[in-house]
């Protein structure tokens, strides 16, 4: 009968490999492996296969002798040890989760390019950890983290109008969400794609994607509210008043049941205060002058001061909403002033510039004196982004 331990030790020596190095590569405890090679414990079928693959041998379980009840017990313990073994650790995962939350909270004010660099760095690190040794629980947490980072990356790519990259990251986020059973992330993927096609002018598909998000979103999450708001905006662009007002009512009902989150600026945690912003945009797109008080309330609440460069994006968007409503009401000077402030703030990301352009074109169509200055400011914004 072949001596299992002797064969393995001979192969290790011939290939210039150490016992400790083999244990590390195979993810086995070095003491356990030493006992097996010294004949104090019979190798399991799993270990035999792992060593065969590692050293290019063809040993069999039978070669290693009979298996006692004690050996079976030790094999069970070793399996538990291997499942619990990890190169990741809870502290690392917690740091990554805090890092994601920090980036999601920075999103409303950060420059997309700066945010994307951070997302890439953290996504790459999550990928490396997925290749390492980890517990099943840690594996799922890494999948969830990878899903969130990919989703945020897709959102930033959309802001920068980088469609191919956005598609790849959204598909990655959706895959990781399904692998980990995280329906909140999966619903956000549908909602984010709905926003992208809405900015491209495909309002019918935006409605369909928003509804798909609502169908799978957890009832107590944030994605279902955001997706409902997205549906309302798409209906508004289609001029469908009844459907628009219905979506607005549903957003109000859903948001009323949620308390204010600890981090209301977090992009993926719905803050009921955001409902005012969505109301302003939705009504403005529908052409309803009732949008004005909502837009002014957003500006009043969120403007940090007169320095427009310090505005969060929602204030810039509210000023565009206000400009659209004021134009409809023939309050032309005020409309131009609001639009100019929004454009000069630098907070109108590429995916939202079409909204600013609508105001510019409306002012030009009326041949207002301010049209030249407004067009110049808009072209300056475009030049910065190039």
Integer Cα distance of 311 and 106 in angstroms: 13
Do 316 and 369 fall within a single domain? yes
Contact indicator for 232, 282 with CB cutoff of 8 Å:
yes
Please, what is the Cα angle at 209 between 207 and 261, to 5 degrees?
95
Is 267 within a domain? no
Do 75 and 122 fall within a single domain? no
Decide if pLDDT at 205 tops 80. Answer: yes
Contact indicator for 72, 41 with CB cutoff of 8 Å:
no
The residue-averaged pLDDT of 318-328 equals 85
Decide if pLDDT at 64 tops 80. Answer: no
Is 128 within a domain? yes
Do 93 and 80 fall within a single domain? no
Decide if pLDDT at 70 tops 50. Answer: no
Decide if pLDDT at 384 tops 60. Answer: no
Is 177 within a domain? yes
Do 68 and 137 fall within a single domain? no
Is 225 within a domain? no
Res 27: pLDDT: 75
Integer Cα distance of 348 and 9 in angstroms: 67
Do 63 and 103 fall within a single domain? no
At 65, the pLDDT band (50, 70, 90 cuts) reads very low
With the CA atoms of 134, 137, 143 and 148 taken in that order, what torsion angle do they form, in degrees rounded to the nearest 10?
A: -120
- Highest average pLDDT, of 17-21, 106-110, 191-195, 264-268, comes from 191-195
Q: Flag the least confident range among 149-163, 168-182, 315-329.
A: 315-329
Contact indicator for 294, 283 with CB cutoff of 8 Å:
yes
pLDDT, one tens digit per residue, over 260-294 is 778 888 999 988 877 888 888 899 888 888 888 98
Res 248: pLDDT: 92
Do 304 and 379 fall within a single domain? yes
Is 263 within a domain? no
First vs last C-alpha separation in the chain: 74
CATH of the domain at 70: 1.10.260.40
Integer Cα distance of 124 and 119 in angstroms: 8
Decide if pLDDT at 340 tops 70. Answer: yes
pLDDT higher for 299 or 225? 225
Of 206, 193, 273, 272, nearest in space to 240 by CA: 206
pTM for the model stands at 0.69
At 75, the pLDDT band (50, 70, 90 cuts) reads low
pLDDT, one tens digit per residue, over 163-177 is 999 999 999 999 999
Range of 12's domain?
4-84
State which of 56, 84, 112 marks the end of a domain.
84
State which of 22, 54, 84 marks the end of a domain.
84
Do 49 and 94 fall within a single domain? no
Do 384 and 302 fall within a single domain? yes
Integer Cα distance of 205 and 68 in angstroms: 64
Structure tokens at 246: 């219905």
CATH of the domain at 297: 1.25.40
Is 215 within a domain? no
Is 308 within a domain? yes
Q: How many domains is the chain built from?
A: 3
Site of tokens 């700066």: 114
Is 120 within a domain? yes
| Torsion region of 307: left, alpha or beta (phi above 0 gives left; psi -120 to 50 gives alpha) | beta
Of 67, 60, 132, 151, nearest in space to 93 by CA: 132
Res 184: pLDDT: 97
Do 34 and 51 fall within a single domain? yes
Do 299 and 382 fall within a single domain? yes
Decide if pLDDT at 255 tops 90. Answer: no
Decide if pLDDT at 383 tops 60. Answer: no
pLDDT, one tens digit per residue, over 9-51 is 999 999 999 998 888 888 777 777 888 888 888 888 778 888 9
What's the longest Cα–Cα distance across the chain? Answer: 99
SS (H, E, C) 288-345: CCCHHHHHHHHHHHHCCCCCHHHCCHHHHHHHHHHHHHHHHCCCHHHHHHHHHHHHHC
The residue-averaged pLDDT of 152-162 equals 92
Integer Cα distance of 39 and 342 in angstroms: 77
State which of 161, 181, 201 marks the end of a domain.
181
Do 37 and 78 fall within a single domain? yes
pLDDT higher for 120 or 338? 120
């Amino acid at each position: 009968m072949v001596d299992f331990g002797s064969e393995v030790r001979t192969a290790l020596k011939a290939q210039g490999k150490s016992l400790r190095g083999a244990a590390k590569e195979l993810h086995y405890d070095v003491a356990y492996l030493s006992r097996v090679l010294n004949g104090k414990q019979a190798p399991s079928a799993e270990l035999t296969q792992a060593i065969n693959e590692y050293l290019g041998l063809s040993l069999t379980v039978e070669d290693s002798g009979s298996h006692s009840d004690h050996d079976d017990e030790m094999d069970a313990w070793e399996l538990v040890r291997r499942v619990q073994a990890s190169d990741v650790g809870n502290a690392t995962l917690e740091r990554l989760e805090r890092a994601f939350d920090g980036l999601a909270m920075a999103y409303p004010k950060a420059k997309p390019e700066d945010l994307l660099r951070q997302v890439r760095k953290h996504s790459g690190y999550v990928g490396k950890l997925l290749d390492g040794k980890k517990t099943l629980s840690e594996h799922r947490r890494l999948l969830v983290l990878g899903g969130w980072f990919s989703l945020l990356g897709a959102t930033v790519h959309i802001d920068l109008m980088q469609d191919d990259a956005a598609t790849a990251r959204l598909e990655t986020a959706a895959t990781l969400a399904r692998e980990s059973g995280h329906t909140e992330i999966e619903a956000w993927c549908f909602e984010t794609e709905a926003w992208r096609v809405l900015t491209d002018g495909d309002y019918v598909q935006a409605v369909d994607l928003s509804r798909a998000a609502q169908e799978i979103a957890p009832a107590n999450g944030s994605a279902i509210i955001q997706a409902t708001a997205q549906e309302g905006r798409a209906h508004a662009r289609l001029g469908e008043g009844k459907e628009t007002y219905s979506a607005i009512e549903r957003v109000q009902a859903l948001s009323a049941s949620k308390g204010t989150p600890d981090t209301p600026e977090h992009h993926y945690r719905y803050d009921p205060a955001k409902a005012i912003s969505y109301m302003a945009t939705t009504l403005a797109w529908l052409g309803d002058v009732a949008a004005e008080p909502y837009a002014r309330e957003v500006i009043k609440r969120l403007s940090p001061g007169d320095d427009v460069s310090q505005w969060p994006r929602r204030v810039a968007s509210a000023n565009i909403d206000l400009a659209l409503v004021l134009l409809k009401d023939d309050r032309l000077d005020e409309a131009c002033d609001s639009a100019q402030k929004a454009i000069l703030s630098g907070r109108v990301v590429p995916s939202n510039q079409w909204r600013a352009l609508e105001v510019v074109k409306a002012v030009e169509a009326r041949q207002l004196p301010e049209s030249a200055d407004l067009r110049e400011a808009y072209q300056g914004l475009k030049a910065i982004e190039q």
